[in-house]
Amino acid sequence: MKPLTYERPATLDEAVSLLGRGEVPTSLLAGGTNLVDLLKLDVESPQLLVDVNHLGLDRIDDTPNGGLMIGATVRNSDLAADPRVRERYPLLARALLSAASGQIRNMATTAGNLMQRTRCVYFMDATKPCNKREPGSGCPAVEGASRELGLLGTSDSCIATHPGDMAVALVALDAVVHFVAADGAGTIPIGDFHRLPGDDPSLDTTLPAGAIITAVEVPPLAFASTSTYRKARDRRSYAFALASVAAAIDVDGDTVRDIRIALGGVSPRPWRAHAAEELLRGAPATADSFRAAAEAELAAATPTGENALKVDLVVRLVTGVLLELTGSER
Amino acid sequence: MSALGAPLRRLEGTAKVTGAARYSFEHTPDGCVYAWPVQSTAAMSRIIAIDVDAVLAMPGVVDVITADDAERLEDADDGELMVLQSSNVAYRGQVVALVVAESLETAREAATRLRVDYQTGDVDAVLEPGHPKLYAPDEVNAGFPTDTSVGDIDQALAQAHAVVDHTYSTPAQFNSPMEPHATVATWSDGRLDVFESSQGSSSTVQILSTLFGIPAADITVDSQHVGGGFGAKGSPRPNVVLAVMAARRVGRPVKLAYTRQMMFALAGYRTPTFSRIRLAAGEDGRLLGLAHDAISQTSTIEEFTEQTAESSRHMYAAPHRSTSHRVAALDVPTPRWMRAPGEMPGMFALESAIDELAHEMGIDPVELRVLNEPASDPESGKDFSSRHLVDCLRRGAAAFGWEGRDPAPGVRRDGRWLVGTGVASALYPAMVMPSSARVTARRDGDYLVEINAADIGTGARTVLAQVTADRLGVDVDRVDIRIGVSSLPQASIAGGSAGTASWGWAVSKASLALVDRLKDEAVPDDGLSAEADTADDIEAMADVDRHAYGAHFAEVRVDLDSGEIAVSRMLGVFAAGRILNSRTARSQFIGGMTMGVSGALHEHGVMDAVHGDYANHDLATYHVAACADVPDIRVEWLDEHDDQLNPVGGKGIGEIGNVGAAAAVANAVWHATGVRVRDLPIQPDALVRHLPMRG
Ligand SMILES: Cc1cc2nc3c(=O)[nH]c(=O)nc-3n(C[C@H](O)[C@H](O)[C@H](O)COP(=O)(O)OP(=O)(O)OC[C@H]3O[C@@H](n4cnc5c(N)ncnc54)[C@H](O)[C@@H]3O)c2cc1C
C-alpha cells in the first residue's frame, strides 16, 4: 500500500505552510472527485494530501461593484443554485448544471473544478505514454483515440482538452482567480489561467507552485442576463463536452453592441473566441454573421483525423446559441 | 387464483436493498488473503522476465504466481481459462501474473510494481472487411452452421426490381454488469468451496473439476446473488481459475475481484461486426432473395464466432437466400456472449436494410414486413410452434400512432429539432435446456423448492416460486425456494433467454410428481420430496421452429445545432408465449430496449490500434445510456398460447428487447434527418454535416 499522509489544516496559513514545506510531493484535496480517481489510477502519486475543506473558503459574497466573490470550496451544486448566480450569470449556472452528475456536483468545488485534469484516455492510463503525465514519453493521442480531444491551441506534444464546463462560462465572464502562496496573495485573470501545452504539457495552469486558490471573482456584466451555455455530448447527462459554448450578447436593434463567447471541449484552455467577438461587435445580429464569426474563430483549428466533427459542431452551436439568445431566427 | 402472471415483487428485494443479500465478494472467510491479477501491458508478445523477487520482498506480499511456477491445468476447452500456463501473451490486458497479499491494498500496489519485460511483435487488433485473417469456422456460436444457401441468390439479384446492398457495422460492446466478476475460493481437506458471481454454477463446477483434476462432487460453487451478467458470467472467466489456483497454492482462502477496468479485457464482450446485406425485391415488394454475410473477430487463444447472420435465416420469406460467417483471430481478448449474441448486431443490419428497401420501393415499412411474412421457417421449411410477428407489428402500429405517418425523411421540424419515427422487428429463439429440481412438502405445510437456477437480477427466484405455487395449488408465501448453489439439483445456466423455461419445466415436473405422491403418502418428519429431470422430455420434443417475436417503434428528435439524438418515445410489443410475472417481465423488456437504445446511440469500444486494447476501458469513457437518455418506454405483450414449448408456456424474454431496438432508432434517425447511418453507435459525427442550417 502506498503510504499517504493526510492533513486537515484549520487555517489558510497552516495550509500554505504545509504546502510550502515541499518535503514530499503534495496535493490539495477538495471534493476529491478528480484527485482520488487519479490516485487510484496511479496517474498522480502525492505522499501528502492537504485538505482545503475546512479553511472557511465556502462563501459566496457580493463584491462592491455588483459582482460575486466565489469561495474556492463552494460546491458546484450550491453555486449553481445561488439566486444571484442564476439571475446575474445564467451561463454560469447552466454550465455548472450541465457537468457531471448530481452526486459529483455535490462534492466538486470551485477550485477543484478549475484545476481538474484532462480526460484524455492516454493521460488516464498509466500504462501508456503521455507527455502530460510523463514528459517526453510521447503522445499517442495525435494518431490515436482523439475524437474527444482538442483542435485549438494544441501542439504536437499534446492535444488534451480542459474538459470542464464551469471554466468556460468563467472565461466568457472575465473572472479572476485569487490565490495565496507563501510569499503572499495574488490574482490571475481566468483567460491566462489555463496554459497552452507548447512543448511542455506537464503544467495545466499558471498557478504558482505552492499556491492555494482562495476564490474566483466574477465581475459584473449587465448583459450576462442574456446569456446561456450549451453543451453537445455523447449522452444527455454525465458526459464531458464534445464541444460547448458559453455566450452573452447585447443587441441594439438589429446590431450586436457587445458579445462574449467562450468555447469548451476544443482546447487545453477554455477558449475565449476573441476573433469571433471582434467580428460581431457592430455587426448585424443575423445567422449569417454569427456563422461567419464562428467560422473565422475556427480558421486556426488543427483537427485530427477523428475530431474534425468539432469544427462543424462549434460553428453550429455558436450560431444556434446566438440565434436563441437574440430570438432572431426566422 | 393462479400465481402465474401475477406482478409479484422480487422475493429477495428487501434483502437486496437493505444489504442483507450477500454477493460473492462480500464473503470473507477467516484467514483469507487477496489476489490481484497483473495484466500484460504489451499486446501479442512473449514474456522475457518477471522480477518476482522485488515484489515478494514487499511486506504483506504472500506470493506471486507466474507461468514459470503455476500449477499445470487440464484443458477444459476454453483457452481463456488456461491462465498462467504459458509465457506467450495473446492480447494486451491478459493476465501474466497473480499477486497474493494479506490485504487488498498491498496486493494491488504490489501488482502495479511488478516488473514484466516483454518481447513484442506487431499488433493486429483492428477488424475490417477484407482482413487477410478472415476464415470460415467449422460452426458459429451455439452450434449454428457457418454458411447456408437456398436457391440462387445471384440470379435473384439479377432479376430483382429493386436491390439493396449495403454493409452495416456494430462496434465492440461491453456487457458491463453492475457487479464486476468476483470469486472467493477456499480449499479444505481436498474440498473446494467457491463463491462466484456466475450465471450458472453447475457448469462452473464441471469446468473447475476438469481444470484442477478433482471430482465434481468435491466442489461447491455458490452464486446466490449475482449483480447482472448479460452473458459476461455465462461461463467461468479467468477470475475463478486464478482464485482457486492461488487458494490451493497458498493454503488459505483467496478473494479476487475484477476492477471495472479489468472487465474490458478479462470478462468477454460483443465482437465488432460487419454485415453485408443484399435484398432483392420484386415489383410488389416481395423478396426474391436475401443474403447476409457477416464478419467478426475472435482471439488467438479461443475461437468464438458471433452468429450474426443466424436471425436472417428465419425472418422473411424469399426463395433465394444465403448466409455466411467469417471470423478473424486477432490480438484481442476473446469476445463472448452479450445479451442477444448474433441477433443484436444481425437484426440491426437486416432491419435497417428492410427500412431502406421500404423507402426505395415506396412501401410502408410495416407493410413491407407483413408482405414478406413466411408461412413456415423460410430456410428450413419447418413449421412454427407459433409466430405472431404480424400481430406485434399491427398492434404496435395502432398503439404508437403509426397510421398516417408521412414517409418523407427530414421534413418534420419542431423548434430546433428534427423529428422522425422508425420501426423494426425482433425475434429470439425459444430454447430450453435440461434441468432438474426437487420439491419437498414439509410437516408444517410449507414447501421447499430446490434447483440450481441463477437469479442475475431477472426475478427468476420469484417466478420459479410462482410456478411451484401454481402447480401445487398453494399461495406463493407457502413456498420457500433455494437456488444458486451447485449442491442443489443441477440446472442450466441463466442464458439464451432459456432460464425460466428450462428451470420452470423441472420445477413444474417435480411439483406435479410431489402432488402425485401426496395423494397416497403422509408427510414424514423430514418431509416428502419429489425430484424431476427434463433431459428426456426435451429430447422427445417435436422438431418445429420456436421463436419469440416482437416489434419496436421509436420516435427520435435530432438537434439541428449539434446532431445530438434524443429518443423521445419507444414502444415494444412482444409475442413471447406465456408471461409468468408481469412486473419482472416488464422490467426485462424495458431493460432490453434500454440496452438497444444504448447500443444505438452510445456504446462504443474504441480500439487503440497501437497498443491493442480498448482505450475507453471505464464507465466514464465507455458510455452506456444514462437515465436522461432513456425515453418513455412502453411495453405490451400478446396473450400468446403455444403448447409446443414447455409446460410453463414461456418463450423467454431476457434478450428479445435488445433485438431490433437499435434498428428502430436508426430508422427513426433516418426518417428525422434523411441521413442513413449504417454504423453504430449513431453519434453527432455522422449527422452534423448533413443537417440543414438554422436561420
Ligand atoms: C464521471 C465524471 C464525469 C464528470 N463530468 C464532468 C463534466 O461533464 N463537466 C465538468 O466540468 N466536470 C466533470 N467532472 C469533473 C468534476 O467536475 C471534477 O472532478 C470536479 O469539479 C473537481 O472538483 P473537486 O473539488 O472534487 O476537486 P479535487 O478532486 O479535490 O481536486 C482536483 C484538483 O484541484 C486541486 N485543488 C483543489 N482545491 C484547490 C485549491 N483550493 N487550490 C488549488 N488547487 C486545488 C487538487 O489538488 C487537484 O489537483 C466529472 C467527473 C467525473 C468523475
Which residues 6+ apart lie within 8 Å of A48 measured at CB? Answer: A4, A5, A6, A7, A18, A23, A24, A25, A26, A27
| B443 and B519 together in one domain | yes
Which of A140, A316, A321 is facing B610, going by the closest CB pair? A140
* Closest chain A CA to residue B624: A235
Q: Which amino acid is at A78?
A: D
Query: Taking the domains of chain A in order of start, what are their residue ranges?
Result: 230-326
Q: Round to whole Å and give the CA distance between B237 and B254.
A: 16
B531 within some domain: yes
Q: Is A244 in the pocket of ligand 1 (CB under 6 A)?
A: no
A41-56 mean pLDDT? 97
Annotated catalytic, B655? yes
| B651 and B592 together in one domain | yes
- Pair type for strands B191-196 and B219-222: parallel
Residues in chain B: 695
Q: Round to whole Å and give the CA distance between A208 and A211.
A: 6
B497 within some domain: yes
Q: Round to whole Å and give the CA distance between B331 and B40.
A: 12
Q: Round to whole Å and give the CA distance between B257 and B211.
A: 20
Does A278 touch chain B if contact means CB atoms closer than 8 Å? no
B13 within some domain: no
- For residue A306, give the C-alpha cell: 477523428
Q: What band does A3 get if pLDDT is binned at 50, 70 and 90?
A: confident
B693: DSSP letter: P
B41 within some domain: yes
Does A129 touch chain B if contact means CB atoms closer than 8 Å? no
- Pair type for strands A5-7 and A48-51: parallel
Assign residue B573 a region: left if phi > 0, alpha if psi is -120 to 50, beta otherwise? beta
Q: Which amino acid is at B601?
A: L
B74 within some domain: yes
| B462 and B379 together in one domain | no
Q: Is A319 in the pocket of ligand 1 (CB under 6 A)?
A: no
Q: Mutation test of ligand 1: which of A37, A104, A121, A235 has the most ligand atoms closer than 8 Å to its C-beta? A: A104
Q: Which atom of ligand 1 is nearest to the CA of A231?
A: 8
| B295 and B367 together in one domain | yes
Instruction: Give the end of a domain, one of B246, B266, B286.
Output: B266
Q: Which of B176, B278, B189 is nearest to B228 (CA)?
A: B176
Instruction: Give the end of a domain, one of B513, B539, B565.
Output: B539
Specify the pLDDT at position B1.
55
Question: Cβ atoms within 10 A of the Cβ of B586, count?
Answer: 18
Is the complex ipTM more than 0.90?
yes
Does A224 touch chain B if contact means CB atoms closer than 8 Å? no
Residue A27 CA, chain-centre distance (Å), reads 19
Instruction: Encode burial over B214-253: b for 16+ CB neighbours within 10 A, e otherwise.
Output: beeebbbbbbbbbbbbbbbbbbbbbbbbbbbbbbbbbebb
CA angle A253, A257, A260 (to 5 degrees): 130
CA angle A316, A319, A324 (to 5 degrees): 120
Using omega within 30 degrees of 0 as the cis cutoff, is the peptide bond preceding B681 cis? yes
Specify the pLDDT at position A21.
87
* Closest chain B CA to residue A321: B561
B3 within some domain: no
CATH C-level class of A230-326: alpha beta
Q: What is the pLDDT of residues A161-183, one digit of tens each?
A: 999 999 999 999 999 999 999 99
| B443 and B295 together in one domain | no
Does A312 touch chain B if contact means CB atoms closer than 8 Å? yes
Q: Round to whole Å and give the CA distance between B285 and A95.
A: 51
Consecutive 10-residue averages of pLDDT for chain B (695 residues): 87 96 97 98 96 97 98 98 98 98 97 97 97 98 98 98 98 98 97 98 97 98 97 98 98 98 98 98 98 98 98 98 98 98 98 98 98 98 98 98 97 97 98 98 97 96 97 96 98 95 98 97 97 98 98 98 98 98 97 98 98 97 96 96 96 97 98 98 97 90
| B257 and B365 together in one domain | no
Q: What is the CATH number of the domain that holds B510?
A: 3.30.365.10
- Pair type for strands B547-559 and B417-429: antiparallel
Closest residue by Cα to atom 26, ligand 1, is A31
Handedness of CA B451, B456, B462, B463 (dihedral sign): negative
| B466 and B578 together in one domain | no
Contact between A235 and B684 using a beta-carbon 8 Å cutoff? no
Q: Which structural domain range is residue B462 located in? A: 433-539
B17 within some domain: no
| B150 and B276 together in one domain | yes
| B304 and B440 together in one domain | no
B309 within some domain: yes
Specify the pLDDT at position A328.
74
| B61 and B106 together in one domain | yes
| B574 and B632 together in one domain | yes
Report the number of distinct structural domains present in chain B: 3
Instruction: Give the end of a domain, one of B539, B571, B603.
Output: B539
Alpha-carbon distances of B371 from B158, B236, B282, B571, B574, rounded to whole Å: 21, 44, 12, 22, 19
Using the predicted structure, report yes or no on whether residue A330 has a pLDDT greater than 90.
no
Q: Is A97 in the pocket of ligand 1 (CB under 6 A)?
A: no
Alpha-carbon distances of A248 from A266, A321, A326, A329, rounded to whole Å: 19, 9, 10, 17
Using the predicted structure, report yes or no on whether residue A329 has a pLDDT greater than 80.
no
Angle between helices B343-361 and B582-601 in degrees, nearest 10: 70
| B412 and B440 together in one domain | no
